[in-house]
Structure 1
């Protein structure tokens, strides 16, 4: 997984290969999420319910956000995340599921109430988004109106993530996955280094 993210980092920064690596972004998302779920050791009905909830809420809130501009702000999706349905790539629902699951597993280790764990996990989500946003447009993930990222976006990310993480911590399923912190860290480093590479150009 680290090699896959490293190859993507280099490939997306080189003009000669950027277009080809953008075509691979959807496959990277599917493979990463697939491996993450493969490492989940105990599948039961509550876990399946969480997966369905995270996917549908994540995708649904993006559809509502793109169409109205009232949730995250005014933005549109590019082509790099794959085909669109209702102006939003369905893969974004899978990405919400994977990221909420990762931050849920990481926050589950805290000696705190489930509400505090949901808050900590939502904070981790916003930290990641803080580094995603500056490179999302250059990578053709999504584009903000007037190239301005509104504070509203980060607040909405926190609220949506908190609701999904509250469900994660409330439902009775196993909250351990040794791949989750590595995937979160790989994603974080990928976007931090992409941003750094952009500064150095």
Structure 2
């Protein structure tokens, strides 16, 4: 018996709550594609647009998916931790190493350009979401620690791709860029150590924030995770093809592939 058209299931229509994060993610991806194709002042404007879209996506998704208190909490918490770590880093060299920002980044707070905490916002929320997915197989008693560890690692790994690009653009410079990761001679290993430390602190606080403020998720995590994947793997492609940064391209592709492999193994083991 052939079912009638009326009996066939209709595709579920997405609500505005679901479409807004996806629209922001699409705008972010389109703007990121424009970055390697631009130069000069246009490229600087594209950088600002990427960071503003990414930060907006994180706050809006946290708000729409887990409630207004979580969205506002993410904005205040991540922005505050970013300014604290970056201002201490500028003044003391701890925990990243000694570095200086260029004037091209515009207005600052405690010496930290406004672009920087916005970049933290862009990176932190998707990293926490992915950390949660990677920690799912861990037994409940250890899941929080695993989630924080994974999220901090993803947060630091994202910067492995981002930092050489920003140095190449002239946004900041390192006083002592060596030793660095193989293939990356403009960013010291101390920066990676600093990002891991900052990531552990930030993801611990973010985890506590979500625990105390969040309602059950009302929107899936596809939009911020798509943004994270594209900014890492797409960034690696841009580094290799257009920006002349083969070392960070290899690291970005390798780290992204490793995370995808872990997720694939987890999916295959699901009953």
* C-alpha separation in 2, matches of 1:99 and 1:10: 23
Does residue 159 of structure 1 match 2:197? yes
CA deviations on 1:54-75 (whole Å, 9 max, x unpaired) are 1101111101101211221010
- The runs of 5 or more residues in structure 1 that have no matched partner are 12-16
Partner of residue 192, structure 1 = 236
* C-alpha separation in 2, matches of 1:182 and 1:117: 19
CA deviations on 1:114-136 (whole Å, 9 max, x unpaired) are 11111011111121111222222
1:27-66 paired onto structure 2 within 5 Å: 27-40=49-62, 41=64, 42-66=66-90
* C-alpha separation in 1, matches of 2:106 and 2:231: 18
How many Å apart are 1:79 and its aligned residue? 4.0
Provide closer, same or farther for how the CA distance between residues 146 and 155 of structure 1 changes in structure 2, counting only shifts above 3 A: closer
CA deviations on 1:72-106 (whole Å, 9 max, x unpaired) are 10101124543223322122112212211111111
Partner of residue 21, structure 1 = 43
Partner of residue 14, structure 1 = none
1:7-18 paired onto structure 2 within 5 Å: 7-11=34-38, 17-18=39-40
Asked if the contact 2:95–2:193 (Cα under 8 Å) also holds between the matched residues in 1, the reply is no
Does residue 130 of structure 1 match 2:130? no
Normalised by the length of structure 2, the TM-score is: 0.65
Structure 1 stretch 52-61 or stretch 74-83: which is displaced more? Answer: 74-83
CA deviations on 1:1-41 (whole Å, 9 max, x unpaired) are 22111011221xxxxx3332213322321122213322332
Normalised by the length of structure 1, the TM-score is: 0.85
* C-alpha separation in 1, matches of 2:72 and 2:205: 12
Give aligned pairs, total.
195
Provide closer, same or farther for how the CA distance between residues 46 and 98 of structure 1 changes in structure 2, counting only shifts above 3 A: same
Partner of residue 224, structure 2 = 180
Asked if the contact 2:176–2:188 (Cα under 8 Å) also holds between the matched residues in 1, the reply is no
* C-alpha separation in 2, matches of 1:189 and 1:141: 22
Q: Which has the larger radius of gyration?
A: 2
CA deviations on 1:117-165 (whole Å, 9 max, x unpaired) are 1101111112111122222211122111144422221111011111111
Q: Which one has more relative contact order, counting CA pairs under 8 Å at least 6 apart?
A: 1
